[in-house]
Amino acid sequence: MPSFHDTATSQAPPEQVWKLLYDPSRFPDWWAGVGTVEVGGEGHYTMYPDGYPDFPMAQLLGTERDSQRVTVSCLVSDLRFEWRIEPAGPGTRITVEVEIPDGEAHRLESQRGVISESVRRLARLAAEG
């Protein structure tokens, strides 16, 4: 299964990054390619890609009792994004691991670009408070 990871450091404290990461309604503010989001319950939300308001993509934001990560899974294409934050001095290190199913392997390079831009946007936005 194709996979990659990316990382960025934000000057913001962990709680500022955390608020953006755990609130899907804020994803359009930093996640590249996300146009709008409709939040449901229990971690479910629907994402509409930028420029494609007629293409709903069901997503699930999940947490696990035994880990400090938040996982975003696309329920349409099965892409999986696992985000972690950890304190880094006065700021925060943000890490994301991405798994792409074999059937979507052609999206590897485009996803690298999307995630690289997104993780840096997240770091900047958190620092703006």
- 111 CB contacts (<8 Å, ≥6 apart)? 4, 79, 98, 100
Position among 6, 8, 12, 14 found at the interface with another protein (CB under 8 A): 14
Stretch that binds another protein, among 9-17, 28-36, 75-83, 111-119 (CB under 8 A): 9-17
Does position 18 interact with another protein (CB under 8 A)? The reply is yes
Question: Which residues in 48-77 contact another protein (CB under 8 A)?
Answer: 61, 63-68, 70
- 71 CB contacts (<8 Å, ≥6 apart)? 61, 62, 63, 64, 80, 81, 82, 83
Does position 29 interact with another protein (CB under 8 A)? The reply is no
- Smallest distance from another protein to CB 25, Å: 6
- 68 CB contacts (<8 Å, ≥6 apart)? 84, 85
Q: Which residues bind another protein (CB under 8 A)?
A: 13-15, 18-19, 22-23, 25, 39-43, 61, 63-68, 70, 85-87
